Amino acid sequence: MATVAVAVATPQIRKSARSSRAMSFFLSHEIGLFSEIAANPAVLECTEIMEPDQKAKHFPVILITGTPGSGKTTHAQLLVQESPIPLQYVNVGDLVKDKGLHEGYDEEWQSYIVDEDKLLDELEPTASAGGLILDWHTCDIFPERWIDLVVVLRCDHTQLWERLEQRNYPINKIQENNESEIMQSVLDEARKSYDHGIIVELRSETTDDLENNVERIVRWILEWRSNHGFKRNPEETIGMNNKKSQES
């Protein structure tokens, strides 16, 4: 039975959000094999060592964003599994629908119009506490003070088109999101909204991309903890590296 993706849109950008999907969805794609991890190689390295602050959050807030179909949920779910520290995962689109954090439904674009004030009020306590992964197709709504790392996932537009077709997106949404990816709209939005030093652009097309990206983010988490004065616990290890060591 075919399913139809229901989107969530901000008042400014009425784009399609994702429907729920399993990890296997991403892993099944074999088109456009790339192993490149793009952009700024230094962005995932922390440099400033700080003394721990009793009032400061102990765990970072990571925003994973990108055009619908770029692999955000897949990355976020795997990161939760592999993270050396506890991280809470929030699919913002699902939260908007489940909590009624919207101003109604736009029939033309088949998307909810997000009530930004309600959404931010809902997320404020969790984001302030830290230890959070936010998964959404847009990023400019979130206060800069919340976010420690912005991961922008990129995908070849032909592969993106096929992914959205598999989700039964209507053709106008596929075209809109495809054009958005070609024009790197989400990346530009991130650069306008946050310090460039916390933004990383990662290729998201293959299984290798997925694993490499998550390992890289895990290393950043450990650096963030160390450089904010928190001692590493014995269980704070890099999950995938351990698995590979056991397999070899």
The answer on whether 237 is annotated among ligand-binding residues is no
At 230, give phi and psi (nearest 5°): -100, 130
The answer on whether 167 is annotated among ligand-binding residues is yes
**Helical pair 185-193 and 171-182, crossing angle rounded to 10 deg:** 60
The answer on whether 69 is annotated among ligand-binding residues is yes
The answer on whether 104 is annotated among ligand-binding residues is no
The answer on whether 219 is annotated among ligand-binding residues is no
Report the C-alpha gap between 107 and 120 in whole angstroms: 24
**DSSP assignment string, 167-189:** TT--HHHHHHHHHHHHTTHHHHH
- Please report where in the chains the tokens 């674009």 appear, as a residue: 109
Question: What angle is formed at CA 140 by the lines to CA 95 and CA 53, rounded to 5 degrees?
Answer: 80
> Which residues make up each annotated binding site for ATP?
69, 71-74, 167
> Which residues make up each annotated binding site?
69, 71-74, 167
